[in-house]
A and B are shown apart, each in its own frame.
Chain A
Amino acid sequence: MTSSLELGPITRALMRNKLGVVLIALQIAFTMTVIVNAIDIIHDRTLKITSPTGMEEDDIFSIRSFGFDSSINAQVLIDEDLDMIRQLPGVVDASRVNAVPASGSGSSSGYAIEPGRRELTVPAAQYSVDEHALNTMGLTLVAGRDFTPEDVRRRTATETRSADQIIVSLALAEEMFPGEGLQAVGRTIYSAEDKPLRIIGIVERLQSPWPNATDWIVERSLMIPDVVIDNSSIYLVRTVPGQRDALMADVEERLAGAGYDRILMNNKSVAQMRTELYRMDTAMARVLYTVIGTLIFITALGIIGLAVFSINKRRKQIGTRRALGATRGGILRYLLVENLLISAAGVLFGAVLTIGFNIFLVRTFDIPRLDWYYAPLGMLVLLLLGQMAALGPAVNASRVAPAQAISPSH
C-alpha cells in the first residue's frame, strides 16, 4: 500500500479483462453523449417555451366573434361588445386586435428606412389595434407615447389604410436604427407600399404571433392604429389578477346572449395559446427526459451487472487478499478505483463523442452549440454515476471472508 491508489496493479489487472472494460466504457461514452446533448436541447427548448411575449400574460384571454348575418352593422356590434366587456367588474381593459402574440396566426410585412429601397426591407409582425391595445396587453412603454383615440383610423377591408403612426418594439427600433434605441421615436419608416409611418412610441418587448418559428426574429413587431371594420373580430381582454377564468366564461356567455347571429370561437387564455404553440417543444423536452432517465437506469444496471460478474469471478482472489491482510477498506477502494479508471476511459471517449455529435446537431439542425461547461459537467456526473452503481457490489465484495479463499465452491 505504498502507492496510495495502487493504480499500476489495477490497470494491469484490468488489461486482462479488456472486453468487460470496453463494454462499460462504451456504454458510459454513449450515455454521456446522449445525456449532454439532450440536456442542451432541453435547455434550448425551455428558453423558447418560457420566452415572454411582453404582455401581462397571466391575466389575458382572447375570444373571436364571427358574425354571419349580413344585416349586422359591424361597427355598432364591435362598439357594443367592447363597451359591454369593459364595464364588467374585474375587467381592466379590452381591445380589438387583428392578432394575438403567441397565438400562432397573424400577419407580417416588410419595412424599410427609406422609400423605394426594397433591399433594406426588415420583416416585422404587424398588429392592427385600437387605442386600448397597449393597456390591454400590459406592454411596457419605454419611450414616446401611447395611441390616442384621434390616432385610430377606421376603415372597411377594401378601403386603403390611412393610419400613419406606429408603436414599435425596441428590437425592431434597434434593427432599423442601430445604436439609436429609444431615440428612434419621431423617426419614419416606410411600408411595403412606400407609405411613411412615424414612430410615436417604443415598447420594451412585443413578440410576434409565431415566436416558435425558428426562422423568424421573434421580437420584431409593430402596432398600427388601423381598425378594419369587419364581422370577424378578435377581442383581447385583460382582467384583474385571479379573475381571468371566471371572466372567460362570463364574456362568452354575454356575447352569445347579445342577440346577434354569430359564432364565438377560440376563447383561450394566453397560457392555453402558449401550451398549444409550444406543444412540439414541450413534447420534445419530455421525450428527452424519458430518454435520459432510461439511459441512466440501463447504464447503471449494466455497470452493476458487470461489477457483480467480475467480483463473483474473483471471490477467491478477494478472499486470498483478505487472508493476506488486506482490509475491507482496501478491497472497497480497489474496486471503486477500478470502476473509476473504467469510467474515466468512458467519459474521455464520451467527451469526444459528445462534442462530435453536437457539431453534427449544430450543422444539421438549429441546435445551439454546447456551452463550455456541459462536457466537463457531464463527465463528472457520469463518473459519480459509475461510482454509485459500483458501490453496492464493491461493499458486498469487501465483506468476503478470508475463509472463502479456501472454500471449494466457486
Chain B
Amino acid sequence: MTRPAPTSSATLSTGPSIHFKGSFTFSTGPLFEDVSLRLGGGEWNCLLGPSGVGKSTILRLILGLQTDGHFDGEITADDGAALTNRVSYMAQSDLLLPWLNVLENTCLGARLRGQTPDTERAHSLLHRVGLGAHLDKRPASLSGGMRQRAALARTLVEDRDIVLLDEPFSALDAGTRADMQELAAKALWGKTVLLVTHDPAEAARLAHQIILLSSGGATTWPTPASPPIRDIHAPDTISCQAALLDHLRAGTAITNQTPQEGAR
C-alpha cells in the first residue's frame, strides 16, 4: 500500500530548483570534475555515493560553508535569487546546546542573530514533532530520537526554502529512524530538500529524485512510480532499494579511494 503524500495544506512554502555545476580541487588533486546536478524544486533529492566522493563537500558548497579546497563552478536557484540565508541545515549529530532547554534550542537561530524568538511558532512546531510535553527539558534528558526531533523543529523554525540534511537519521535505531523519516518528509513537504545518505532504503522511500555521485560524475537513478512517502513493503520500493544497494556495492568494490579521499 502506498502512503499518501501530505496534502497541500501541509505545505509551508515551495522551494526553488537548484543547479549545481562545477569541479572541486584539493591541493593534492581533484575531488570531482565537471559534476552537474539539478535538485528538483519542492522535492526530496537523495544523494548517495561511496565515502570520500564529495557528497558532503557539495552540501557544504551549497550551504556556503568553508571548504579545504577550490571550487570552480556555479550554484544557482531557478528563481534567480541568491542562496544566501535561504538554506537551512540538519546534521547527523543533533547539535543541540546542552545549556539550553528544548524550546530555547528550537529558537537558536533567532537567539544567535540577536532577534526576538517566535516562541509561539516554536511551541507549535515542537507539538507537531511530538515534543510538546518536553519544552523545558535539557537535551541530556532526551533520547536520541527526541533530540533529532528537536533538531528537526529547530530546522523548521528557520522556515527556509531549501533544507540540506547530512545523514540526519543514520545514528538512530531502525524504528526511530523510520518514524523520523516520515515526520521529516511531512514537515519538510514543499521545500527543496537535499538528503545526503548512505541508506538505499531511505532513498527508495523518500526521494522524488535519487542522485548517485561517483568519481565519474553525478547520475540519476530511477525512482519508484509511486510518490513519496512510499510504503516500505511496496514491491517497487523494495526492488528500488535492492537494485540501488547492488549498484552501490558494485561501485564500492571497484572504487579505489586514496586515504585522503576516504577520510573526508
Bound together: no
Question: A residues touching B (Cβ–Cβ < 8 Å)?
Answer: none
